[in-house]
Structure 1
Amino acid sequence: MSHLFLDIETYSAPNNPDSSINPYLSESKVIVISYSFYLGFKPPIKEEIKAPVFLKEWESNEKDILQQFYTFLREIQKSDPYVKITGFNILKFDLPYLFARMKHHGIASERDLYDILIRPFGVDIFQISPVISGNTMKHEQLWGINHKEASKFFNLQVKEGSGLDCSRYYDAKQYDIIMKYCTEELNFEQLLDAMYLHIRDTVVQQNQNITRQ
């Protein structure tokens, strides 16, 4: 098993802001694909984290970066069909958006796109964030939190700005600011490790309390 940490930035058009979340609009497009790949059964610890790879739409075009990423996924899944894809809200956003945009550009058939993007086992940190959310207890239901709040909880660096800000920087061709944002956002290796340790320590403490009773 290997580990792929993934994030994308999408374009929010001034005349159609939904293009950043709906991949089927004429203005929709992926502007950055960020990822880090690690071989091995266990995900990386802090000392093993490496710089991510960035595929930038403005250096070529959307179809080109989608094709590059699809080819990369095909290659790693040939050697490891059990690659684990991790991100923040990837199950609802990143992977479906990539699926739709790759289909739009004719990168591959729906069947192949499913095998590459949807079929692999995924870890969505947003889906497990209710365990650190104060609102879970307050509202007596599972209540997820956003990436900034999760980073703050674990005292990790918090990204500046938002995805919408990136679209305005894109319009202004301020690509260096976009890359700063993308670099700060892709802290999923640290988030995953911190989340695991938090859950482990909580369970250990609960078991110790039960033993003392």
Structure 2
Amino acid sequence: MTDNERAARDQMVDLCRSLFERGFSVGTAGNVSVRLPDGMLMTPTNVRLGDLQADRIAKIDQEGQHVRGDKPTKEVFLHQAFYATRPQAGAVVHLHSTWATALSCLTDTDPDDCIPPLTPYVVMRVGRVVMLPYVRPGDPRTGDMIRALNGEHAAVLLANHGPVVSGKDLMSAVAAAEELEETAKLLVALRGMNMRLLSPAAVDELKTSFGTL
């Protein structure tokens, strides 16, 4: 095991524990991965994010074979689809966080723009989020739907399920997932009120200043 892989395992333990302790994941829900030069690291199945052990994190090689650690989550294909279509992605975080999942259950959530530009930070860290139709957890069709997006979105909402967020590295992916959840909370809190969203010109300025995801 390389020093870089060891460091990635330790960082996964720390950040996953933080997500769990702050309520972004409950029970054994959610899964996290990090891309490696020779594959990826993946949280194991049926393990709480707060209870990860570095040496037991699953490793998947570039051919998709499980080569080390405990059995990976059944939703490994979500992560593989992001890595296959977004070469800039270095990590993927899938949560069942409360407010983002609530948005995924509302019938009037816009499937083409689930998280409208309420704050500059959701534009900068998350970008435009689309909703994918419901399929059962573990159904590989979700990976097919992510691949069909051709890498155009850094994050998606799975209908009646929760968010999947990619980032250039694990810290960025976690921060983006946190930002998405906080924005979803604001959107639910402001439902029925007259919201002032950022203008298209303001969104364009943010993209010009900070780049697109």
TM-score (ref. length: structure 2): 0.29
Structure with the largest fraction of helix: 1
Larger radius of gyration: 1
